[in-house]
């Protein structure tokens, strides 16, 4: 610790980071190519204002928009053993983890929270595709079990938002073991008579589709989401045939009876509230039941305030 590290380095860093800001103000829609102003985009829950393409949204942003007044508290997830196989590909597994933690600011690929949505108490879990492809490892398994146990303890429904490239290969068979583990967790909810709602988001693939993401009492998907076990490219190469238009996309799956609903992200909250209140035998949500508009304002990422730090209204 000296003058250079304490004073000069931060100054230099701040000069460089300041220059990066204007580039981050705009996001290009991957579907229609429109340049979207970041403020406008986050107000629209990361849905393109031009073509309605649903861009990725982090679990924290989603929860801030979902829970009343953006207020929720995180459910603690038991830490699994780190790097049990001492796995290494081009990079060591712990190095990959550290890089993902640094770029996302999250500990792992799933966030579990409890709170109220339209005055309906719930437990929610959301998978983070930006964290190593949302891959399902031991932590994600622990997170789903923690969410289910919490829901059973509080007698609340569980709402799960899935997004994953599949199982985490760095954990080998231990990641595949999360498929039966999470299935047992879902069974716990069933035995307790509690609703389990799955919202599939783009993309939900591999072992996640083959376990907890397809076991919901009600299966909802965001528009255009790819939902599959093996991806279209793999299937095309295997059967050597051209696949139909929109194959394995949410709308195709809805048409073929794999899903119950395909719902726009902006309508998702209201729809979830209606479904949960209906299943819970509660009166339908009325305008008076919902918090005043000022309280539901979604905190933007620039505010840099974590929702759980805000005083409860």
Distance CA 87, CA 100 (A): 16
Say if residue 48 carries a ligand binding annotation.
yes
**What is the longest distance spanned by two Cα atoms in the chain?**
66
Rule CB under 5 A: is residue 50 a binding residue for Zn ion? yes
Nearer Cβ to Zn ion, position 43 or 308? 43
Rule CB under 5 A: is residue 35 a binding residue for Zn ion? no
Rule CB under 5 A: is residue 31 a binding residue for Zn ion? yes
Nearer Cβ to Zn ion, position 50 or 103? 50
Distance CA 254, CA 220 (A): 9
The residue from 12, 32, 99, 278 that contacts Zn ion (CB under 5 A) is 32
> In this structure, what are the phi and psi dihedrals at residue 186, rounded to the nearest 5 degrees?
-65, -35
Q: Which two tokens stand for residue 94?
A: 């712990």
**CB of residue 32 vs Zn ion: minimum separation in angstroms?**
3
Rule CB under 5 A: is residue 41 a binding residue for Zn ion? no
The residue from 12, 35, 51, 192 that contacts Zn ion (CB under 5 A) is 51
Q: Which helix (H) or strand (E) holds 26?
A: strand 26-28
Rule CB under 5 A: is residue 269 a binding residue for Zn ion? no
Distance CA 231, CA 65 (A): 31
In 135-264, which residue ranges form alpha helices assigned H by DSSP?
138-154, 172-176, 178-191, 206-209, 232-239, 250-255
Give the range of 24-32, 72-80, 132-140, 227-235 binding Zn ion by CB under 5 A: 24-32
Nearer Cβ to Zn ion, position 50 or 73? 50
CB 200 within 8 A of CB 241: no
- Give the sheet arrangement for strand 158-164, strand by strand: 73-74, 110-117, 120-127, 158-164, 196-204, 218-221, 261-262
Distance CA 178, CA 169 (A): 12
CB 261 within 8 A of CB 222: no
CB 283 within 8 A of CB 120: no
Nearer Cβ to Zn ion, position 34 or 300? 34
DSSP labels, 142-155: HHHHHHHHHHHHHT
**CB of residue 50 vs Zn ion: minimum separation in angstroms?**
5
Check whether the bond before 203 is cis (ω within 30° of 0): yes
Give the range of 37-45, 47-55, 72-80, 269-277 binding Zn ion by CB under 5 A: 47-55
Rule CB under 5 A: is residue 48 a binding residue for Zn ion? yes
Rule CB under 5 A: is residue 13 a binding residue for Zn ion? no
Say if residue 228 carries a ligand binding annotation.
no
Q: Which candidate, 310, 137, 303, 116, places its Cα nearest to that of 208?
A: 137
**CB of residue 33 vs Zn ion: minimum separation in angstroms?**
7
**CB of residue 47 vs Zn ion: minimum separation in angstroms?**
9
Which residue bears the tokens 């583990």? 181
Give the range of 31-39, 69-77, 105-113, 153-161 binding Zn ion by CB under 5 A: 31-39
**CB of residue 34 vs Zn ion: minimum separation in angstroms?**
5
**CB of residue 48 vs Zn ion: minimum separation in angstroms?**
3
Rule CB under 5 A: is residue 116 a binding residue for Zn ion? no
**CB of residue 51 vs Zn ion: minimum separation in angstroms?**
3
Give the range of 25-33, 80-88, 210-218, 248-256 binding Zn ion by CB under 5 A: 25-33
Annotated binding-site residues for Zn(2+) read: 29, 32, 48, 51
Annotated binding-site residues read: 29, 32, 48, 51
Residue ranges that bind Zn ion, judged by CB under 5 A: 29, 31-32, 34, 48, 50-51, 53
């Amino acid at each position: 610790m000296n003058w250079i590290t304490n004073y000069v380095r931060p100054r230099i860093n701040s000069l460089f980071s300041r220059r990066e800001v204007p580039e981050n103000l705009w996001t290009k829609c991957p579907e229609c190519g429109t340049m979207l102003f970041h403020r406008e985009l986050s107000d629209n829950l990361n849905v393109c204002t031009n073509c309605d393409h649903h861009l990725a949204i982090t679990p924290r942003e989603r929860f801030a928009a979902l829970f009343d007044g953006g207020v929720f508290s995180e459910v603690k997830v038991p830490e699994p053993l780190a790097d049990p196989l001492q796995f290494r590909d081009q990079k060591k597994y712990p190095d990959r983890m550290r890089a993902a933690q640094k770029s996302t600011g999250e500990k792992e690929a799933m966030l579990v929270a409890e709170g109220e949505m339209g005055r309906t108490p719930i437990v929610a879990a959301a998978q983070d595709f930006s964290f190593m492809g949302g891959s399902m490892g031991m932590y994600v398994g622990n997170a789903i079990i923690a969410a289910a146990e919490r829901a059973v303890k509080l007698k609340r429904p569980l709402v799960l938002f899935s997004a994953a490239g599949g199982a985490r290969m760095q954990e080998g068979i231990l990641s595949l073991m999360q498929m039966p583990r999470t299935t047992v967790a879902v069974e716990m909810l069933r035995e307790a008579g509690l609703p389990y709602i799955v919202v599939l988001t783009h993309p939900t693939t591999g072992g996640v589709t083959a376990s907890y993401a397809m076991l919901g009492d009600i299966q909802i998907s965001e528009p255009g989401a790819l939902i599959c076990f093996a991806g279209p490219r793999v299937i095309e190469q295997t059967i050597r045939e051209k696949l139909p238009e929109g194959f394995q996309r949410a709308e195709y799956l809805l048409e073929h009876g794999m899903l119950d609903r395909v719902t726009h992200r902006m309508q998702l909250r209201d729809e979830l509230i209606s479904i949960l209140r209906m299943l819970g035998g509660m009166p339908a949500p009325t305008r008076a039941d919902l918090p005043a508009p000022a309280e539901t304002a979604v905190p933007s990422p620039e505010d840099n305030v974590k929702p759980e730090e805000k005083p409860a209204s």
